[in-house]
Structure 1
């Protein structure tokens, strides 16, 4: 399946609220671009390609990759991930074993989380997901990706899905 690559302008803007500051102050509320939060237009987010679950009851995986295209920047904590239907938004929780991290990305460096989900049967007891929504840590803006991997088992209050902490990609 073809990966969706989107430049994220709005997502990175709010990272300044949660990432480590790189300015002249040690105050964690003082956030700047120099070694701090990823700046608008300097981060690409890609969802996929997926290892889609072939049938109801099977598990599938979808990587969500963040690539820094500017100077060194920082991601702190977990992203917010939602599975969206026409009528509802189901918040996906981090895997129980995942631990929030602070990750500094050099220019060109990437990190990713992996969303794991259980494919549901069409109809009751499943979410007819049409969109995956990703919000980077501390951001208020989000990025949507089309979902073409079938229904997800569970309900809007309890989707059968979870994701990993950010993992450094490459070297």
Structure 2
């Protein structure tokens, strides 16, 4: 008679494991489920306030925070950041010292990254007189421009190779 309780227990365990899901989004609100890549139009974005570099050769940091205003979405990887100075542009490289995390953002959740840069001398040969930065999210093709008021950015080899970097997204807030 012990075979029946063991069979029922085994069947119950198998059903519970199956109910845990295969990782797909069930719409249940579970933050561990999959979702689509976040799009810039569905997020509130705030660049700054910055710890601006006060003089040429100094390092500054510009924190960028995104808040999901819509349906659940995912950020995984590094943001794409391009600095613009009129017709000249420069892509900011990734700071690979930190490993990107997969962040599932429900409505109201926030994430952030930091852009670190070295301020250049006004009019210097390797100086990029930045007027705006363009932000693109990982996994999405749309972008948004933001004004830049932190002075020129120093180039490494030339103005098109900025002495700057962006970190991967990290969960922010509670």
Is residue 2:118 matched to residue 1:115?
no
Q: CA deviation at 1:157?
A: 3.3
Unaligned runs of 5+ in 1: 1-19, 25-33
Alignment of 1:27-106 (within 5 A): 35-38=35-38, 41-106=41-106
Is residue 2:143 matched to residue 1:151?
no
Distance 1:53 1:39, change over 3 A: closer
Q: Secondary structure of 1:116's match? A: strand
Question: Greater helix percent: which structure?
Answer: 2
2:24 and 2:47 mapped to 1: Cα distance? 28
2:73 and 2:96 mapped to 1: Cα distance? 27
Q: CA deviation at 1:146?
A: 0.6
Q: CA deviation at 1:165?
A: 0.9
- Indicate the structure (1 or 2) with the bigger Cα radius of gyration: 2
Unaligned runs of 5+ in 2: 1-22, 28-33
Q: CA deviation at 1:140?
A: 1.7
**Greater alpha carbon shift after TM alignment, 129-138 vs 95-104:** 95-104
TM-score, length-scaled by structure 2: 0.74
Q: CA deviation at 1:141?
A: 1.5
**Greater alpha carbon shift after TM alignment, 148-157 vs 125-134:** 148-157
Give the root-mean-square deviation of aligned CA atoms. Answer: 2.2
The total of aligned residue pairs comes to: 143
CA contact 2:40–2:144 (8 Å) conserved in 1? no
